């Protein structure tokens, strides 16, 4: 019997890869036949070797990880199961164990019913668009899969100490003890639930942990990096570190109870690295979402900015092209190429804490010096169509808003790469103005696309 071709449900689907892998509702958009075929396609392209597989705490993670492993085994690729681990752990383990590829089963900050698949190359970096297109192209060919037999079939092996190895590696980068720091952690009931408390406590910090009891359904539920306000309420004067489901994002609550997003984190770290002569080219890479205040602050500090479209993979590509070691997104993804090959919330938190201990200053003090943020409003408009190219009335409204704000504000309207929404972002001198302009724009977007 000839090897079976990709399933009809797979070959007939719309484009699979978005800005952060393949994502959708588990068992509906992202089902076992799809992940089986994704693994077969990726496995055939690497032609052998081993793949590290990790996941976050979602109930569907076991099912989808098992489907991926079966797919890899069926085309002769071994799998190394890292279990529940932050996405930075998968990235770290790939070169550590000599794997050819890595896969993280996670929908990051999305709710529990969603899940996703993120692929990483042999260096631990996310696959670029070209290699994702190769996987999708092979999947859609409809040709029978490679079907080895006997000793040619891949096998699974667990990495029982995966999280311990990952935490130990991060600890080696610490600038010193964290003794004296009082931390409150929000682990999002996700992949950081074990690793984050273990890391910071091992370095001497006084740690209180919240949302560290995952049950498969409570990941990101009223917690995590997308809703850090709860942590601000319970931190009790401690510095708050808030991660998302797979712990690639970090949001921080400073000692005054104010949320510090990726712009603040980047600004504080960038200024410190520049002062220490450790910021090559005095350059930072960011995205179009970065706050106008961040842009002005970097200019005043003599730090050059390279801007990319939204997505940490595009930040990484620009960093490699520009020779930069620091880049990231307002959403809390921060990449430090002198320490890792992908965004890693735990590593970001440690770097920020190192700046605090090295300078002897609080984050509240450091952020006040680093930048003054413009009031910003971000609205997500759920739409039937994300086709903004032909949305003439939307762009007319955008141009009118830009004329109104002039140099003292900014407007950005873009389609989400992971959800059926259009994001409307407005920055202005006051929150009232930003809110008014954003409301006007969201009404136009909803009227034309919803």
Radius of gyration of the chain (CA): 22
What is the spatial distance between Cα 127 and Cα 8, in angstroms, rounded to a whole number? 25
Query: How far is the CA of 152 from the CAs of 14, 203, 336, 404, in angstroms?
Result: 33, 45, 39, 66
In sequence order, the β-bridge partners of residue 285 are 306, 327
Is residue 171 part of the annotated active site? The answer reads no
Task: State the alpha helices, DSSP H only, in 172-328.
Answer: 192-202, 229-234, 262-275, 292-300, 312-322
Closest-CA residue to 336 (of 250, 416, 244): 250
Token pair listed for 153: 């079939």
Strand order in the sheet with 421-427: 376-382, 421-427, 410-415
What number of other Cβ atoms are within 10 A of residue 418's Cβ? 18
Annotated active-site residue in 91, 106, 108, 193? 108
What is the spatial distance between Cα 133 and Cα 352, in angstroms, rounded to a whole number? 36
Closest-CA residue to 255 (of 268, 243, 267, 241): 241
Pair 299, 372: CB distance under 8 Å: no
Q: Which residue do the tokens 């085309």 mark?
A: 75
Task: DSSP letter for 170, please.
Answer: H
Largest interatomic CA distance in the chain: 70
- Give the DSSP per-residue string, 240-262: EEEE-TTS-BEEEE-TTS-EE-H
Catalogue the active-site residues.
Answer: 108
């Amino acid at each position: 019997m000839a090897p079976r071709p990709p399933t009809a449900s797979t070959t007939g689907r719309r484009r699979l890869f978005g800005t952060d892998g393949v994502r959708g509702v588990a068992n509906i958009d992202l089902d076992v036949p799809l992940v089986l075929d994704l693994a077969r396609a990726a496995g055939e392209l690497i032609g052998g070797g081993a793949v590290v597989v990790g996941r976050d705490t979602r109930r569907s993670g076991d099912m989808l990880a098992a489907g991926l492993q079966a797919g890899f085994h069926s085309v002769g690729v071994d799998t190394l199961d890292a279990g529940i681990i932050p996405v930075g752990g998968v990235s770290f383990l790939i070169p550590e164990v000599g794997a050819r590829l890595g896969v993280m089963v996670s929908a990051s900050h999305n709710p529990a019913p969603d899940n996703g698949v993120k692929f990483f190359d042999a260096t631990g970096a996310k696959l670029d668009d070209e290699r994702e297109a190769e996987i999708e192209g092979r999947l859609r060919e409809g040709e029978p899969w490679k079907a080895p037999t006997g000793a040619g079939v891949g096998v699974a092996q667990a990495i029982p100490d995966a999280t311990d190895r990952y935490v130990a590696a991060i600890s080696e980068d610490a600038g010193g003890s964290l003794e004296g720091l009082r931390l409150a952690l929000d682990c999002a009931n996700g992949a950081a639930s074990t690793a984050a408390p273990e890391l910071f406590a091992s370095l001497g910090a006084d740690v209180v942990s919240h949302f560290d009891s995952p049950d498969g359904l409570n990941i990101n539920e009223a917690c995590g990096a997308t809703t850090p306000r709860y942590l601000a309420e319970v931190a009790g004067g401690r510095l708050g570190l808030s991660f998302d489901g797979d712990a690639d994002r970090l949001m921080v609550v400073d000692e005054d109870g104010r949320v510090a997003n990726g712009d603040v984190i980047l600004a504080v770290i960038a200024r410190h690295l520049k002062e220490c002569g450790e910021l090559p080219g005095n350059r930072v890479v960011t995205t179009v979402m970065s706050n106008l205040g961040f842009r002005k602050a970097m200019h005043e500090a003599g730090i050059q900015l390279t801007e990319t479209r939204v997505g940490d993979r595009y930040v990484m590509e620009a960093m490699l092209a520009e020779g930069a070691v620091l880049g990231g997104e307002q959403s809390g993804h921060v990449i430090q190429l002198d320490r890792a090959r992908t965004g890693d919330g735990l590593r970001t938190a440690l770097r920020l804490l190192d700046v605090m201990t090295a300078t002897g200053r609080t984050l509240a003090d450091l952020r006040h010096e680093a930048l003054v943020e413009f009031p910003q409003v971000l609205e997500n408009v759920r739409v039937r169509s994300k086709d903004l190219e032909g949305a003439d009335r939307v762009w007319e409204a955008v141009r009118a808003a830009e004329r109104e704000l002039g140099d003292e504000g900014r407007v950005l309207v873009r389609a989400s790469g992971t959800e059926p929404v259009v994001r409307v972002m407005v920055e202005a001198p006051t929150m009232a103005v930003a809110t008014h302009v954003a409301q006007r724009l969201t009404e136009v977007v909803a009227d034309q696309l919803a």
